[in-house]
Amino acid sequence: MRTMEYVFLSANQRNTYSMSSNLTHHDKISGDFVLKFAESCLRSDEIRSSGEDIKMNGARYDRDISTLLQQLPKVKACKNFERKMAARFALELHEEVVSRNRENIARSSIPG
């Protein structure tokens, strides 16, 4: 299992991009782009234009919608979900008992 944090670049790789002093201008632009993307700082027009680049650069990126939808990250319940649910369920059971008792008392207090 991989988390999204590991999808793109490790911290060391990012440092390589930012620390290198031998980058050409083009490399620097690419490096900046990669860094901004990794930090989720891209503007929407940058994301859009890079999408156009990718489209022009080859068919190997092609994925159909259905395949892409299947590859969306699976969102799971948080780690303590079952504990929280158990607490709410306990309350539910308690309310059920209280309501049943109330009904029983009401029934037994009816004269005759």
Partner 1 sequence: MNVPSSVHAITNLNRLPDEDVMEQLQAGVVEAFDVIVHRYKDRLHNFLFRYTSNHEDCEDLVQETFLRVYRSRHSYERIAKLSTWMYTIALNLAKSMYKKKQRMTTMSIHADSSDPDDRELEISDTNLMQDEELHLKMCVHELEKALMELNEDFREVIVLRDIQQLSYEEISDITGTAMGTVKSRINRGRQQLQEIMGNYVKSETF
- Chain residues that interact with partner 1, rule: CB under 8 A: 1-4, 7-9, 34, 37, 40, 47-48, 50-52, 54-55, 59-66, 68-82, 84-86, 88-89, 92-93
- For the bound state, the minimum distance from the C-beta of residue 21 to partner 1, rounded and expressed in Å, comes to 23
Rounded to an integer, what distance in angstroms lies between the CA atom of residue 37 and that of residue 100?
Answer: 58
Q: Which is nearer to partner 1, 48 or 102 (CB)?
A: 48
- For the bound state, the minimum distance from the C-beta of residue 64 to partner 1, rounded and expressed in Å, comes to 4
Contact predicate 23/6, CB 8 Å:
no
